[in-house]
Chains A and B, each alone.
Chain A
Amino acid sequence: MEVTRTKVPGSKEEFRAKQLSAQQMLRGDLDGQDLDEYVEKRLLLSKLNEAQSWARKNAIWPLGFGLACCAIEMITVIGSPRNDLSRFGAEVIRFSPRQADLLILSGRVSIKMAPIIRRIYDQMLEPKWVISMGACASSAGMFNNYALVAGADKFLPVDVYVPGCPPRPEALMYGILKLQDKITKDPELGWRERYHAGGTEEFGGSEPEREDHARQDAESPSQDAGPDAPRR
């Protein structure tokens, strides 16, 4: 292999001075204020978890998953240069739940779809977040009837609710920015425990223990909406 040598920028004397100070540090000669100065010049200090959440917040990969008309607005947020979600590192749509971080519930959640959505959520790997987009996903909206789950938060934990019918792309962008704030500050509100959201990931070959519980959660709204439900 041929080794190519390039000239170090700066003058020869500067380079020599740096070399000497590095040697001094290695020998233990550099200490006190000199050492601090040396380290500050060369390092960006942060706590590990802060650096981690900074990296997470700037690489949210949404799942390519649309439920109804809100999906059109979601596509506009992600796909159009006018909104350009890639400014915030969230434009990489992943069509496999294994690779995605963010599930955007864009549209109404029917009771037939609820177990499927929960399964997709379980297939996503931690860390994962959910945005409930629009009135329908948050509260069944105008379709308050036998067919829909009134609020997706009945069967999976939702981080951010975006109101609107459908929300404008700017509103969804604002929701994603709010989610970024949440990731940076990382307020564990205890909802993962409340919704049994941890440990439900599906791995090949092994059935997770909480599977039954999750399925029950997902199906309970269908029982509410059955014929025995009281007339409003």
Chain B
Amino acid sequence: MPDATGLELLAQRVREAVADDAIVGTRFEHGHATLDVHPPRVHAVLSYLRDSDDEPYGFLASLHGCDYLPAEPRLGIHYQLLSMERRDRLGVRARVTVEEPQLPTVTDIFPTADFQEREVYDFFGVIFDGHPDLRRLFMPEDYVGHPQRRDFPMGGEPVLFTFNEHKLPRWYE
């Protein structure tokens, strides 16, 4: 894990190698380092982190989405990178809005991202530009909506517990 100083140095190297606007910010929380990336630069940053000799993060351990509902931009896409050489992990995060949920795909550099991007598309509605086969992964093909967004209704059926019993008085009759 790069420490807070190492993370700043890494961010600086990425800025120099890719573009000045590539890194929006850095976060170091709970011993976990995360780069905040400008969404259109995700592919460039990740391919730099994968291919550069200075940053050998060659393994995409996870790609997942997140919805930070009150905060804007709402959707966050997390890439967890793992470096086998350094025994080191690095998070990369991109934030997109619900109105324009567009990101470049990373399936050409990390083939494992294929299904994981489909999952994020299924549950959060993030469009990955250039993905070879962007279909729903878990929900039925004809499903409407993206159920893991926090403004999506929970669904299911109301169940009578003791805490909501008073809403249906004399239900037992």
What is the interface of chain A, defined by CB distance below 8 A to chain B? 111-112, 140, 143-148, 150, 222, 224-227, 229-232
Contact = CB atoms under 8 A, between A and B. Distances in A.
23 contacts: A112-B138, A112-B140, A140-B156, A144-B156, A145-B155, A146-B147, A146-B153, A146-B154, A146-B155, A146-B156, A147-B155, A150-B156, A222-B143, A225-B156, A226-B143, A226-B144, A226-B145, A227-B145, A227-B152, A227-B153, A229-B155, A232-B156, A232-B158
Contacts of A227: 144-145, 152-153
B171 to A, nearest CB: 16
A96 B152 CA distance: 39
Closest 10 CB pairs of A and B: A146-B155, A144-B156, A227-B145, A225-B155, A231-B153, A150-B157, A112-B140, A146-B147, A145-B156, A145-B155
Interface string B75-103: 00000000000000000000000000000
Interface of A is mostly: loop
Interface in B131-167: 138-140, 143-145, 147, 152-159
Interface residues of B, number: 15
A144 B157 CA distance: 7
Contacts of B143: 222, 226
The interface centre, meaning the residue of A111, A140, A225, A231 with most chain B CB atoms within 10 A of its CB, is A225
A109 to B, nearest CB: 13
A146 B154 CA distance: 6
A112 B145 CA distance: 15
Nearest to B164: A232
Contact of A111 (B140, B153, B154, B157): B140
B126 to A, nearest CB: 17
A229 B145 CA distance: 12
A146 B140 contact: no
A146 B150 CA distance: 13
Contacts of B140: 111-112, 222
